Amino acid sequence: QITLKESGPTLVKPTQTLTLTCTFSEFSLSTSGVGVGWIRQPPEKALEWLALIYWNDDKRYRPSLKSRLTITKDTSKNQVVLTMTNMDPVDTATYYCAHTGGYYKVDYWGPGTLVTVSS
Amino acid sequence: QSALTQPPSASGSPGQSVTISCTGTSSDVGGYNFVSWYQQHPGKAPKLMIYEVSKRPSGVPDRFSGSKSGNTASLTVSGLQAEDEADYYCSSYAGTNILGVFGTGTKVTVL
């Protein structure tokens, strides 16, 4: 059974950098076609893709946030890390880690972690 | 890369059917047969209900069905049950070099 779980701070101050880690099991990010990404959902708002990294280290970023985002993977640790710089209160959201086998079909989700940006 | 358009709300009585639309463009919904639908209960992670326009993952009841015409995809829930009350989001592939796009979300209420 594939599982993913997000970890990181629940509270960050404006201008700080957020680092979130997704730790997963029962699949390998070295398998062709597999991707792991990050999706966020501000309170009472819609889902939005932030970034995705593929098995071959190819990466995709949300254009409006590209300058602030970095996604990396550590295949040996079964982890994907997302960093987001210059955090702002509008970045307050639940951040989900997601597994896709292609074409942005998310077949497995982490439980999500609520990150609040406040001084 | 704009969000796909969904109606904010939809409702039906138990046993009835409800259909949710998801309108995009020829660059996403209309250009590919890679539309997915997700169900999200309050405080929970979304769950994949439909993929590739009309395919159901194992374990999803056949009361859930999907279709597409032009730039608009649709999700139909037949035989509504109380547990179907949730938010529903569509999503579409939008090309090789960009991220996928989600819909604006629809709250389904079972009356």
Residue B93 above 80 pLDDT? yes
What's the pLDDT tens digit per position in A66-76?
999 999 999 99
Rg for chain B (alpha carbons), in Å?
Answer: 13
- Residue A37 is encoded by which pair of tokens? 């990404």
27-66 of B, contacting A, C-beta below 8 A = 32, 34, 36, 38, 45-48, 51-52, 57
Pick the residue from chain A with its C-alpha nearest to B56. Answer: A107
How far is Cα B5 from Cα A81, in angstroms, rounded to an integer? Answer: 31
Give the closest residue to B99 by CA, choosing from A29, A88, A18, A40.
A40
Give the residue from chain B lying closest to A47, CA to CA.
Answer: B102
A60, two tokens = 């995709």
* Tens of pLDDT, residues A47-105: 999 999 999 999 999 999 999 999 999 999 999 999 999 999 999 999 999 999 889 99
pLDDT band at B1 (very low <50, low <70, confident <90, very high): confident
Q: According to the model, what pLDDT value does residue A60 have?
A: 96
